[in-house]
């Protein structure tokens, strides 16, 4: 029996038993039906939403930090530890070739003075050898050759004379033998002196010249090295950008270098960042890696400037997961780089930023607002109003953003659903 046709409209049913046991029964039943009707009226007063089609964008959020794409470490190119005596202010804008720091170069200056003396002595020795000593040796050998040659000619003439006298029985055979021996000795001495000249010209003098030249070259190289060390004691900017002090280990502390500190060879103590080309470095958890890909749109917001939004795009996503210090539980992350398509002079390397990356975009799909979706465990459903009745409808959801879900099945455009 319908007691209410519409909310608030009462159909009066009269019976012959207005009182007594049957009257009480009918009165109780009327109260129950009235309560149910009120519930229906309350449900009808809930806000309705008409299902429509539209676009949906799904974004994933990450924390990261700004870095310069081109960061150069600056370190001393000295061959020994040196004491820092001058350093450029932190955050200074520098041009290529500007002086960033100076080191104490007194030890190399003293070494350069000694090496310059050695170099000059080596050059003088070389010049003396080439211009005087070797020519004099050759002249001495030439004089000996002339002397020995003259003596050989005399001995050969004397031998001929002795042989003629012996032929006339005016000289003994012993005298002939003695003359022949003297002649052989003169020939041997002449050959030895001439061979000495040949070997001196071919080997001895070139070798001496080469040794002297090598000594000059070595002394010059050592001098140039010392001069280069003096020059390297002045550290200059390799590129233009913003210079920052780098935190390094000094005397058991982890801090920036100060005047008076000893810096070791190839120890980076400064960095230069190209402020015109900044990127964002992020860490993507394993569970979120499917939501990002190179080329995806991104929006970058510095935490210090929440109203600033800068367009960007994902450039690279690491291929290998890695552990990140400070994260417990064994979770691994993939490094991600996001390029910035706009510039802003207020941005600085090291600033913390929030990055939202577009993981999915669908156009002209059926949408249901989040406030209309209910959950039973992992099963979504909604209350749809059909034929003036409210039905519980299970849903098949797809992509989602902060306001809507994509509905794959269960609803169609034009349907009306109840929202909270």
Write the DSSP assignment of 86-106 as a string of letters. EEPPTT-EE-TT-EEEEE--H
> 367: helix, coil or strand?
strand
CA–CA separation, 79 vs 105, rounded Å?
12
The whole-angstrom separation of Cα 126 and Cα 76 is: 36
Burial of 402 (0-12, 13-18, 19+ CB in 10 A): exposed
**Beta strand spans in 104-246 (E):** 234-236, 241-245
Q: Note the pLDDT of residue 34.
A: 35
pLDDT at 408: 86
Q: CA 382, CA 395: separation in Å to the nearest integer?
A: 7
Per the CB < 8 A criterion, the answer to whether 261 and 87 are in contact is: no
Q: At 298, is the secondary structure helix, strand, or coil? A: strand
Q: How far is CA 420 from the centre of its chain?
A: 52
Q: Which pLDDT belongs to residue 13?
A: 32
Task: Output the pLDDT for position 20.
Answer: 42
Residue 326 has a CB neighbour count (10 Å cut-off) of: 5
Contact 233, 105 (CB under 8 A): yes
Kindly report whether the global pTM for this prediction surpasses the value 0.85.
no
pLDDT at 235: 95
- Give me the tens of pLDDT residue by residue for the chain, a chain 420 residues long: 333 333 333 333 333 333 344 444 443 443 444 344 334 444 445 789 999 999 988 889 999 999 998 889 999 988 899 999 999 999 899 999 999 999 999 999 999 999 999 999 999 999 999 999 999 999 999 999 999 999 999 999 999 999 999 898 888 989 999 999 999 999 999 999 999 999 999 999 999 999 999 999 999 999 999 999 999 999 999 999 889 999 999 988 999 999 999 999 889 999 998 888 899 999 999 988 988 999 999 999 999 999 999 999 999 999 999 988 877 677 899 999 999 999 888 888 889 999 999 988 899 999 999 999 999 999 999 999 988 899 999 999 988 888 999 998 888 999 999 998
Helices marked H in 200-279: 205-232
Cβ contacts of 48 within 8 Å, gap of 6 or more: 385, 416, 417, 418, 419
**DSSP 8-state class, residue 130:** I
DSSP 299-359: EEEETT-TT--EEEEEEEE-SS-EE-TT--TT-EEEEEEEEESS--TT--TT-EEEEEEEE
What is the Cα–Cα distance from 383 to 374, expressed in whole angstroms? 9
Of the candidates 333, 306, 330, the residue with the CA atom closest to the CA atom of residue 321: 333
């Amino acid at each position: 029996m319908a007691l209410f046709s519409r909310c608030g409209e009462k159909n009066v049913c009269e019976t012959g038993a207005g009182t007594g046991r049957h009257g009480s029964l009918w009165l109780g039943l009327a109260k129950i039906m009235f309560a149910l009707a009120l519930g229906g009226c309350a449900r009808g007063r809930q806000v309705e939403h008409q299902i429509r089609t539209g676009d949906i964008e799904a974004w994933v959020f990450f924390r990261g930090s700004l870095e310069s794409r081109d960061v150069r470490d600056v370190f001393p190119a000295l061959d020994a530890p040196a004491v820092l005596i001058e350093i450029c202010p932190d955050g200074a804008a520098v041009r290529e070739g500007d002086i960033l720091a100076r080191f104490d170069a007194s030890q190399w200056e003293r070494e350069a003075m000694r090496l310059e003396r050695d170099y000059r002595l080596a050059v003088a020795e070389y010049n003396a050898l080439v211009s005087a000593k070797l020519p004099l040796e050759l002249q001495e050998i030439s004089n000996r050759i002339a002397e020995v040659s003259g003596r050989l000619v005399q001995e050969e003439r004397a031998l001929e004379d002795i042989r003629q006298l012996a032929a006339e029985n005016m000289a003994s055979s012993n005298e002939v033998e003695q003359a022949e021996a003297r002649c052989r000795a003169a020939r041997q001495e002449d050959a030895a002196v001439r061979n000495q000249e040949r070997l001196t010209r071919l080997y001895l003098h070139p070798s001496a010249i080469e040794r002297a030249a090598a000594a000059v070259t070595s002394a010059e190289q050592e001098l140039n090295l010392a001069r280069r060390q003096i020059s390297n004691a002045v550290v200059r900017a390799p590129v233009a950008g913003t210079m920052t002090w780098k935190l390094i280990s000094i005397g058991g502390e982890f801090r920036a270098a100060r005047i008076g500190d000893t810096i070791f060879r190839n120890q980076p103590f400064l960095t230069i960042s190209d402020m015109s080309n900044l990127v964002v470095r992020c860490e993507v958890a394993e569970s979120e890696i499917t939501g990002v890909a190179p080329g995806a749109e991104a929006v970058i917001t510095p935490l210090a400037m929440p109203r600033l939004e800068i367009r960007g795009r994902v450039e690279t996503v690491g291929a290998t997961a890695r552990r990140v210090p400070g994260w417990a539980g064994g979770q691994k992350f993939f490094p991600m780089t996001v390029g910035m398509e706009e510039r802003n002079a207020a941005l600085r390397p090291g600033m913390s930023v929030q990055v939202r990356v577009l993981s999915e975009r669908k156009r002209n799909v059926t949408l249901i607002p989040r406030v209309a979706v209910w959950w039973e465990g992992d099963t979504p459903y909604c209350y749809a109003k059909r034929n003036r009745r409210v039905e519980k409808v299970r849903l098949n959801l797809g992509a989602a953003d902060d306001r809507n879900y994509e509905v794959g099945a269960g609803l169609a455009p034009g349907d009306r659903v109840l929202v909270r």
